[in-house]
Structure formats: C-alpha cells, structure tokens
Amino acid sequence: MRTIALVMLTAALNSTAAAAVCTATSGERRVALLELYTSEGCDSCPPADRWVSSLPSRGLGSDRLVVLGFHVDYWNHLGWPDPFAQKRFSERQRALGTRNGARFVYTPQLLLDGKDYRRGIFRDDFAERVAAINQRPPRAGIRLQLRRVSGNNLVVDGSVTVHGTAPSNEAQTYLALYENNLANRVSAGENRGKQLQHDFVVRELIGPVPISARGTTEFSRTFRLDPRWKSADLVVTAFVQGSTSGDLLQAVAAPHCD
C-alpha cells in the first residue's frame, strides 16, 4: 500500500477568481524524516548536499522519506555568508543536539527521525534503515490543504491526530517550505570558486504548533513567498515530533500548487 495518498489537484472556484487547491494526506505506514544541517561556508558539506539530492533517484521519494536541508549561520564569519542560512536553523540544530546529549554541533550533520546519523553518506545501510522505519505503523495522521491567496501568500490548513499510545501531551507539529533546484557560485571562503547545487533547501519553518491533550489539532498557517523563489520547485511538508523525546510520529509532503 502506498504510504502517502496521491496529491490531488482540484479547482476551487468562487465568484471572483479561480485558485488551485492541493491536498495531501499521510498514509498507513510511517514516513521517515531526514534533516541535513549544512552550510555553503563548509568545504566538507557539498558531498552531503549531493548525496541528499540523489536520494529520490535511489527510490527514496517523499512517500518514504521527507528530506529537509537546514543551512546554518554559524560559519558565516569564515568569509562566505550562506544566502540560505537562518539563525533559527542553527538554534534548532543546537536544541536537537542538547536533547541527544551532544556536546557540540557540526556540519554536515544528518539526523534521521531526530537522531544523529553519523557518516550517513558513507554507509550503505541507509535505505535499509528507512525501510525499517516505513514498516512501522504511523503514530499520527496528518492532512494538509494548500491554497494560494493574495498573490504571494500560501495558506496551509491542516489537521493532526495522534494515534494510540503516542505521547499526545508533548507532540508538536512543524510545517516547512523548501525549494529544489538551487545553484549558487561561491566567491569566498572554503568553497571559493565552486558552483554549488542544492535541493530540499528550507526557506521557512513554522512551529511548533501544539497538539491538545486529546491528541488532535486543527491549524491554519501562512507562508509568505519571496517572489525570487521558483514556484514550481516549492514543496510544503509537515511532521509531528515529540517535544521531549524527539521521536518522529509521522511526516508528509505536498508539492506547492498555483
């Protein structure tokens, strides 16, 4: 059975305009979450960037694995300010590191379902690890509806239901908007002279959105789209994670629609 329902495109018509509406619903098996912490100011990061870009062609599409590339800002002082970096992403990496007992942060770092996955690009068991996660039943259900309104506003309406014995009292929902097919020529720092290619670059992260003690929530959040972002390459994702344990309950991805 496919783990994520097919993204459905419908036309939502009103008296003044026609707007595309996209919906995505998580399926009956768990989708894994891979977080890459990276920087254009780090000379060991490009191989990791290329590796995550290759994952869909290796059979690890978003129906099995949601990938998020967080560019951190703590290497910006080394001569090249990463244009994709955000302080908040560095803070998220540090918070997850503290939760996992790490004494420092580094790039490139991979986190699989919130846990450190060291030297992941040099290990040949990654697909097997993801497959094992996919075999687990989902601990939450996610439904998203995307609609473009008022030019550059992308509204995401959603609902989350935590299943069974999952810790609903500490579960939180995050929404991320990422962009694929990015390229940038670096003119200073450790990667000086290199043309770097990126996918899964997180542009905005919204959350945490709390979930009630009953294990349910409904929400509406808005991404404000930069006109420079390529609409066809934008993807919205949602994932549910334990605030204390860091355990991932479920994830889903929905391509952006106009």
Question: For the residues 72-80, what does the mean pLDDT come to?
Answer: 96
- Distance between CA 242 and CA 168 in Å, rounded? 8
Task: Summarize pLDDT for 154-204 with one digit per residue, the tens.
Answer: 999 999 999 976 655 689 999 999 999 999 999 999 999 999 999 999 999
- Cα dist from 124 to 34, 56, 129, 184, 229, whole Å: 16, 16, 10, 29, 34
What pLDDT was estimated at residue 166?
61
Instruction: Judge whether 198 lies within some domain.
Output: yes
Instruction: Judge whether 220 lies within some domain.
Output: yes
Instruction: Judge whether 79 lies within some domain.
Output: yes
Residues 253 and 235 sit within 8 Å (Cβ to Cβ): yes
Q: Is 151 exposed, middle or buried (0-12, 13-18, 19+ CB in 10 A)?
A: exposed
What pLDDT was estimated at residue 11?
29
Task: Summarize pLDDT for 107-161 with one digit per residue, the tens.
Answer: 999 999 999 997 656 667 899 999 999 999 999 999 999 998 877 999 999 999 9
Based on the structure, what is the number of domains in the chain? Answer: 1
Rg (C-alpha) for the chain, rounded Å, is: 18
Instruction: Judge whether 199 lies within some domain.
Output: yes
Task: State the CATH number of the domain containing residue 246.
Answer: 2.60.40.10
Instruction: Judge whether 192 lies within some domain.
Output: yes
As a residue count, the chain comes to: 258
Q: Which domain holds residue 222?
A: 8-255
Instruction: Judge whether 141 lies within some domain.
Output: yes
Instruction: Judge whether 2 lies within some domain.
Output: no
Closest CA to 177 of 156, 158, 205: 205
Question: For the residues 76-89, what does the mean pLDDT come to?
Answer: 97
Instruction: Judge whether 208 lies within some domain.
Output: yes
- Distance between CA 236 and CA 250 in Å, rounded? 15
Instruction: List the alpha helices (DSSP H) in 55-125.
Output: 87-99
- Res 15 pLDDT > 60: no
Say which DSSP state 114 is in.
T
